[in-house]
Structure 1
Amino acid sequence: MQTNPHGMGRPSTLPVGENGGAGATSGDVVSLVSVTRTYGSRDNKVTALAGLSVGFPAGRFTAIMGPSGSGKSTLLQCAAGLDRPDEGKVIVGGTDLTELSEAKLTLMRRDRIGFVFQSFNLLASLTAEQNVGLPMRLAGRRPKQAEIAEVLDAVGLADRARHRPSQLSGGQQQRVAIARAIVTRPEVLFADEPTGALDTSTSRDVLEILRDLADQYGQTIIMVTHDPVAASHADRVVFLADGRLVGEMHQPTAEAAAARMARLETGPC
């Protein structure tokens, strides 16, 4: 086990299956293989993803960027099992989500996948520790106080456990949402514009927590963002346009990510 300064131990790498397929390796905890997703009727069909293949390595922090309508949110929803592709495979930890029934997919999302969204989605009547323990209660098991304390400490809220959302700032509420997402030790944490509702300083604090989760706990993180500064906290950025993968950048800077986005928004790659 690897232990970080906050004391929460995790395996240095997450369990990974043999995913196979184009764009995937045995080190990818999430793989999309030739994924196509369309919406609308025959005369008004919109192709959100067009035969997309991409892999996301275990224990790494990956950002997804692209112009409006490029397919970022659809990629995230398909990868997280929130939406089903029309064609192709979506593999998480060696399990092909496209072969699961709705009941098994629900269990997969509950037990092996974490979610953080722009809206914090906390229950106003519950304290921070009660919100964090909610996924365990929904799974039919009683949360252990030590588990709740560990993840609240990991996001810097050990002294806010008994506070309700109305007593917390926006940044603190998002930290509670992150703690809730990781309390079950998910194989992958999906984040959809997690700093979109926060100011610059608070956004930086939340992004540093996500960075720490990858560095210290080996947490795989996949984040959709439009913000080059947010993307600069990731190990890698993948760029989409018209539902296709059009490039990637390793160890990105905010300036380089912004320049790439400017090129995508003004014309062909």
Structure 2
Amino acid sequence: MRRTGTTRTGTTQTTGQAVLLDSVRMVHGTGPGAVTALDGVSLGFAQGTFTAVMGPSGSGKSTLLHCAAGLDRPTDGIVLIGGVDLGPLGEKALTLLRRERVGFVFQEHNLVDALTAEENVALPLRLAGRRPGRDEVRAALAEVGLDRRAGHRPAELSGGERQRVAIARTLITRPAVLFADEPTGALDRAASRVVMELLRALVDAHGQTVVMVTHDPAAAAYGDRVVLLADGRLAGELDRSSATEIAARVALLEETC
């Protein structure tokens, strides 16, 4: 990765940014068959805000999320989480940073079927060598409204409840940033609304920073802003908008791509 120093900020500012991407490029493959998934993206995610990322299929949404979260290393550019430049970090240091500062929620909840909700929530701390207190785990479940379901296994929970357990599992580590990749993609409308209201409440009541990739304008409407991508580049932003306004903007973007 090209290194140009962590003080260069392109069109973004580091102050108050939980995550910062500066001139980030991601190229898959080499030669004539190379595919540019991100093409010089500079973008910041402010602390205590909720950002939805949208765009046509193949626009680079998931690649952006993976680079911002430190799951993938970009071909070029700078990524900072909490002011820490991820570029120079070795794999061990990067894994530790993700464990301590970053939370993930995916479309599939990825719970361990043999464990109860309580045990699933405690798992990240156990993997980190900590022995979580029962009150700590119950408090995380209470944040998602499932403290009374602590002893239930995933098969005994609805799809929406399983996703809320996955969010509690993320919250137990108190991440600086919560990244969500299509968190309502496998849920019905009612369950989706509960999950989105929960994510919104985490931002409003606890100052959690949330960055979410979604194809659903109704989900994106819960965000403070919507970032639009097309062909791996920024294609505009919307401040807090209705689902109808967001859907119209995305449809227009798809027509021009």
1:33-72 superposed matches below 5 A:
33-72=22-61
> For residues 79 and 198 of structure 1, what CA distance do their matches in structure 2 show?
25
User: Which runs of 5 or more residues in structure 2 are unaligned?
Assistant: 1-5
2:88 to 74, 77, 99: 99
Following the alignment from structure 2 to structure 1, what is the Cα–Cα distance between the partners of residues 236 and 18?
Answer: 20
1:85 is matched with which residue: 74, 77, 87?
74
TM-score for both structures, normalised by structure 2: 0.96
What corresponds to 2:177 in structure 1? 188
Deviations 1:203-245 (A, max 9, x none): 0000000000000010000000010000000111100111111
Report how far residue 24 of structure 1 moved.
2.7
> Residue 177 of structure 1: which of 166, 169, 172 is its match?
166
Residue by residue over 1:45-98, the C-alpha shift from the partner in whole angstroms, topping out at 9 and shown as x without a partner, is 110000100000000000000111110000000001110001000000011111
Residues 1:27 and 2:4 aligned together: no
Q: 2:233: which partner in 1?
A: 244
Alignment match of 1:76 (pick from 53, 65, 68) = 65
Instruction: Give the superposition deviation at 1:26.
Output: 0.3
Q: Is the 8 A contact 1:19 1:28 kept in 2?
A: no
TM norm structure 1: 0.91
Shift in CA distance, 19/72, structure 1 to aligned 2, threshold 3 Å: farther
Partners of 2:29 and 2:92 lie apart in 1 by 26
Q: Is the 1:60–1:214 contact (alpha carbons within 8 Å) kept by the matching residues of 2?
A: yes
Decide which of 135, 158, 161 is 1:146's aligned counterpart.
135
Instruction: Give the corresponding residue for 1:205.
Output: 194
Aligned-residue offset at 1:107: 0.7
Match of 1:6 in 2: none
Task: Percent identity, please.
Answer: 59
Alpha carbons 2:14, 2:83 under 8 Å: kept = no
Residue 3 of structure 2 corresponds to none
> Once the two structures are superposed, what CA deviation does each residue of 1:93-123 show, in whole Å capped at 9, x if it has no partner?
0111111101111111111100000000000
Q: How many residues align?
A: 251
Q: Deviations over 1:107-155 (max 9, x none)?
A: 1111110000000000001000100011100100101111111110010
Q: What's the RMSD between the two structures over aligned residues?
A: 1.1
**Moved segments of 4+, more than 6 Å:** none
